[in-house]
Amino acid sequence: MTTMASPSHVADFVAHRHTLTGLAYRMLGSRAEAEDVVQDAYLRWHNVDRAAIEEPRGYLATVVTRLCLDRMKSARARREFYVGQWLPEPVVDEAFDDETAGDLAHDITIALMLVLERLSPLERASFLLHDVFGLDFAEVSHALGRSEAACRQLGARAREHIAAGRPRFPTSSEGGRRLAAAFHQAATSGDAQALTEMLSQDVVLYSDGGGKRLAALKPILGREKVLRFLDGVSRKNASLATLKVRDATINGLPGFVLRGEDGAIDTIAFESDDGHITAIYIMRNPDKLRHVRF
């Protein structure tokens, strides 16, 4: 028989809910699935003997991680049949709060999420639990059912991949916002020269339509190819002129939410380095935009 949770029992969970959601999101790449996992964790917390739990944070992180690992088995199978480029579900105009976990705990940029996606589930879990969530390797070992030495090795491999995928000289938030605004102005006015000057030579454009809306099936690499793609999209879609656009922060990056006359939502985010745009991320998959409001 299920018993009512005490107010302190509920408060202990609520105190960690945002960071647990952040952990699950980084594991799964989906805000909706992350929220489902955290709800499942709450149901388990609701029925656990609170007196037997010494440290709620570590216990809940373990529960959430194990739930995520279970989901990742089916998620990886689905990804094998995903149409086109996969991007994480965008987190728009918000951040996961975790004052104790340092700057990395706030880092949910799309570039980082793509790097995490290339890690094995256990590498990802070991890195997030130790480097982001702040558990020691004894606790990570308990959560993953692996030895401490194995978890240290998993975390080390993950850090190597992540370090290689980070920009060395990222543009400041203010500078990134100016670049995003300049991109919008140049794209709207058809100023090809301005676009050329603000894109880095090795810029990459990613777009995710999930097979449900038009999008490039593979990343578009290099300034000239990206410019040709943007020009083609502009020439073939007169409806772009009627798009409503608002500034947004998307996974910590400057960008925009766009709404067409038919109500369809897109997001576009920009990563920049040394004053130039290095990556453009366009989300068009309606399944991943249900929570986004204009």
pTM for the structure as a whole = 0.86
Contacts with 140 (C-beta within 8 Å, 6 or more apart), sequence order: 125, 126, 129, 130, 148, 151, 155
Task: Give per-10-residue mean pLDDT for the chain (294 aa).
Answer: 61 88 92 94 87 85 95 76 92 59 56 90 95 92 95 95 71 84 91 94 96 94 96 80 90 93 94 92 96 90
The residue among 198, 189, 165 whose CA lies nearest residue 274 is 198
The bridge status of strand 244-250 relative to strand 220-221 is unpaired
Q: What is the pLDDT of residue 105?
A: 36
Q: What is the pLDDT of residue 199?
A: 97
The residue among 95, 92, 74, 115 whose CA lies nearest residue 283 is 92
Q: What is the pLDDT of residue 132?
A: 85
Going along the chain from its start, the domains and CATH numbers come out as: 7-165 (no CATH), 173-288 (3.10.450.50)
Distances (CA, A) of 2 to 5, 45, 48, 50, 286: 9, 12, 10, 14, 38
* Calpha distance 126→27 (Å, rounded): 11
φ and ψ at residue 209, rounded to 5 degrees: -110, -10
Q: What is the pLDDT of residue 100?
A: 37
Q: What is the pLDDT of residue 171?
A: 62
Q: What is the pLDDT of residue 103?
A: 43
* Calpha distance 192→171 (Å, rounded): 22
Q: What is the DSSP letter of 94?
A: -
Answer yes or no: are the C-beta atoms of 22 and 96 closer than 8 Å.
yes
Q: Give ∠ CA 138-142-147 in degrees, rounded to 5.
A: 70
